[in-house]
Amino acid sequence: MTTELSAHDVRTATHSGVADVEPAAAETVEVAPTAASNAFLAGNPASVGLPVFVAGSVALGLVLIGYVPASAAAASLPIIAAATGLGLTVSTVWAAATGQSAVASIFAIFGGFWLSYATLVLGLTHNWFAITPNAAVHTQGLFLITWLVIIGMLTLTTLRLPAAFTLLFVLVDLALAAVLIGTLNASSTWMRTGGVLVFAFAAVGIYLYAAIASLVTGGAGYPLGRPLMSS
Along the 231 residues of the chain, how does pLDDT read in single tens digits? 333 333 444 444 434 433 333 333 333 333 333 344 455 567 899 999 999 999 999 999 999 999 999 889 899 999 999 999 999 999 999 999 999 999 999 999 999 999 999 999 999 999 999 999 999 999 999 999 999 999 999 999 999 999 999 999 999 999 999 999 999 999 999 999 999 999 999 999 999 999 999 998 999 889 999 999 987
Nearest to 159 by CA among 9, 1, 3: 9
User: Rounded to 5, what percent of the chain is helix, strand, coil?
Assistant: 70, 5, 25
| Phi-psi category of residue 218: left, alpha or beta, with phi > 0 → left and psi -120 to 50 → alpha | left
Q: What are phi and psi of 23, to 5 degrees?
A: -55, -35
Q: Which long-range contacts (CB under 8 A, 24 or more apart) does 73-76 make?
A: 73/121, 73/125, 74/121, 74/122, 74/125
* HSE toward the beta carbon, residue 141, CA cutoff 13 A: 11
Q: DSSP character for 165? A: H
Q: Which are the contacts of 108, defined by CB distance < 8 A and separation ≥ 6?
A: 88, 92
What is residue 167's three-state secondary structure? helix
How far, in Å, CA of 212 to CA of 50, rounded? Answer: 9
Strands (E), the chain: 3-6, 28-31
Contact 158, 102 (CB under 8 A): yes
